[in-house]
């Protein structure tokens, strides 16, 4: 048994004390994992724009003080009661939203009252068997999912669970049992969607971890936890980009470039990358863009430029920035009759203005959360793609930094200088 097992661990973590303030690296206490939870020693954590948006007032339900970060890879230090899918020393991804079983209901023949289906961001249907309900306190879990996915549920579940509760526990920064595992200077710290990767240790619900193949380097694996599964997954699940498609991608950060790689793998004929930072264009072309445009180089709005370039509009447009203006431009650039616009960016400060006349001929606008993926299937598949040399994660990493440099990672992101910064923790010894 490890010396630390069952005891609080004192370690370093970047604490977001207040909305809009830089993170502060502090000594924090990470309590042992509870039932159905896993304590992880973090090895690497990618820095996503959503982290920046979270501690800068962009999330309605943000709670402080907290430890943010959600794109992590690490080694399991210890497990709580009932955990079966991972063991101490297993290498794992953290997984923000995919807190569910991957079993298919009708294949397994579960009774309908245990089936929950999703209409929005899951491509699939969930099944929760009684054992899962018992071991993961699914009452909390289901409320989380009702909130996040506009779930349609059977009458039985509708009566059993309170679907009207506005905030669920994970979204409000606490674990599924309603408490937190993190403390600093005598204060409880909130978790970030049950993940919190910007600390040397973190406690995550078992349903928020996925095993990583041993041969996979963890500093690259962490990117699969959000950026790559979000971008690449959107091209597989939210829409199915076909060979020969014409696509445009707004924002060539980690998420946008992952969309580019997904479109290339699907055989898209034209992949037009759009960014105000021309420094991104060489990498974008290496990863699959056939052309790159800087809207600031054009006198006309970029949607008009694209319409001319593509003879009437694009089959698919992806917005990976989070601004209403670029979302509208992506919509306007899609083909009038069949174009689909996928909204991935988060944090827009105003609602979209879409003229309904422009939808009538058949255009579609869709949202995509973490690529609409079944993480337990997509994450291992993306590792295989990387290990086979078909997915270039290395090019996405422009900066490797220590935890002490975390605010610098946000500075280079704000300046548009990074693709992905990865925070590297001390080499794991547990």
Ligand X SMILES: NC(=O)c1ccc[n+]([C@@H]2O[C@H](COP(=O)([O-])OP(=O)(O)OC[C@H]3O[C@@H](n4cnc5c(N)ncnc54)[C@H](O)[C@@H]3O)[C@@H](O)[C@H]2O)c1
| Residues engaged in binding ligand X (CB under 6 A) | 48-50, 53, 226-227, 230, 250-256, 274-277, 280, 295, 320-323, 326, 344-347, 368-370, 413, 416
Of 413, 259, 414, 286, the residue nearest 340 (C-alpha): 259
Give 137 or 237: the residue with its C-beta nearer to ligand X: 237
48 binds Zn ion (CB under 5 A): yes
**Contacted entry of ligand X, Zn ion, none for residue 256, CB cut-off 5 to 8 Å set by kind:** ligand X
Give 33 or 225: the residue with its C-beta nearer to Zn ion: 225
Give 50 or 333: the residue with its C-beta nearer to Zn ion: 50
Least separation, in Å, of the C-beta of 371 and ligand X?
7
**How far is residue 242's CA from residue 265's CA, in Å, rounded to a whole number?**
10
Least separation, in Å, of the C-beta of 15 and ligand X?
21
**Contacted entry of ligand X, Zn ion, none for residue 301, CB cut-off 5 to 8 Å set by kind:** none
Residue nearest to ligand X (CB): 253
**How far is residue 221's CA from residue 213's CA, in Å, rounded to a whole number?**
10
Stretch that binds Zn ion, among 12-20, 40-48, 97-105, 306-314 (CB under 5 A): 40-48
Q: Tell which one of 4, 31, 50, 137 touches Zn ion (CB under 5 A).
A: 50
Q: Is the peptide bond before 65 cis (omega within 30 degrees of 0)?
A: yes
Least separation, in Å, of the C-beta of 343 and ligand X?
8
**How far is residue 42's CA from residue 365's CA, in Å, rounded to a whole number?**
37
Report how far Cα 317 is from the mean position of its chain's Cα atoms.
Answer: 19
Give alpha helix (H) positions in 234-280: 254-266
Site for Zn ion in 205-234 (CB under 5 A): 226
Question: Across-strand partners of 203?
Answer: 39
**How far is residue 225's CA from residue 93's CA, in Å, rounded to a whole number?**
6
Least separation, in Å, of the C-beta of 271 and Zn ion?
22
Give 50 or 237: the residue with its C-beta nearer to Zn ion: 50
3-state secondary structure of 338: coil
Residue 64, token pair as written in the block: 């402080």
**How far is residue 356's CA from residue 365's CA, in Å, rounded to a whole number?**
11
Least separation, in Å, of the C-beta of 48 and ligand X?
5
8 Å CB contact between 204 and 133? no
Contacting positions for Zn ion (CB under 5 A) = 48, 50, 226
């Amino acid at each position: 048994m490890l010396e630390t097992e069952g005891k609080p661990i004192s370690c370093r973590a970047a604490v977001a004390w207040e909305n809009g303030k830089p993170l502060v690296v502090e000594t924090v206490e990470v309590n042992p994992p509870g039932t159905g939870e896993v304590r992880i020693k973090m090895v690497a954590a990618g820095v996503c724009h959503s982290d920046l948006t979270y501690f800068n007032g962009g999330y309605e339900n943000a709670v402080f003080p907290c430890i943010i970060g959600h794109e992590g890879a690490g080694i399991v230090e210890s497990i709580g009661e009932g955990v079966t899918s991972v063991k101490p020393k297993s290498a794992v991804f953290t997984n923000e939203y995919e807190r569910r079983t991957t079993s298919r209901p009708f294949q397994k023949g579960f009774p309908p009252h245990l089936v929950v289906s999703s209409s929005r961001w899951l491509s699939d249907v969930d099944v929760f068997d009684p054992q899962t309900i018992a071991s993961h306190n699914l009452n909390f879990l289901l409320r989380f999912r009702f909130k996040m996915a506009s779930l349609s549920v059977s009458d039985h579940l509708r009566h059993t669970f309170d679907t009207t509760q506005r905030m669920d526990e994970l979204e409000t920064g606490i674990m599924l049992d309603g408490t937190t595992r993190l403390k600093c200077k005598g204060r409880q710290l909130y978790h970030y969607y049950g993940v919190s990767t910007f600390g040397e240790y973190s406690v995550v619900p078992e349903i928020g971890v996925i095993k990583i193949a041993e041969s996979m380097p963890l500093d690259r694996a962490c990117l699969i936890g959000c950026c790559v599964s979000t971008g690449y997954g959107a091209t597989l699940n939210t829409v199915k980009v076909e060979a020969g498609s014409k696509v445009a991608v707004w924002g060539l950060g980690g998420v946008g470039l992952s969309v580019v790689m997904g479109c290339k793998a699907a055989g898209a004929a034209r992949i037009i990358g759009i960014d105000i930072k021309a420094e991104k264009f060489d990498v974008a072309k290496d990863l699959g863009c056939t052309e790159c445009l800087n809207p600031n180089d054009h006198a006309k709005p970029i949607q008009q430029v694209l319409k001319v370039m593509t003879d009437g509009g694009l089959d698919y447009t992806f917005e990976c920035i989070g601004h209403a203006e670029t979302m509208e431009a992506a919509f306007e650039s899609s083909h009038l009759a069949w174009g689909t616009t996928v909204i991935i960016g988060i944090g827009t400060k105003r609602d979209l203005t879409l003229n309904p006349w422009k939808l009538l001929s058949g255009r579609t606008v869709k949202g995509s959360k973490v690529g609409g993926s079944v993480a337990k299937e997509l994450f291992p598949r993306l590792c295989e793609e990387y290990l086979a040399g078909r997915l270039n994660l290395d090019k996405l990493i422009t900066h490797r930094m220590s935890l002490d440099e975390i605010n610098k990672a946000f500075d280079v992101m704000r300046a548009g200088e990074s693709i992905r910064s990865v925070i590297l923790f001390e080499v794991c010894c547990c």
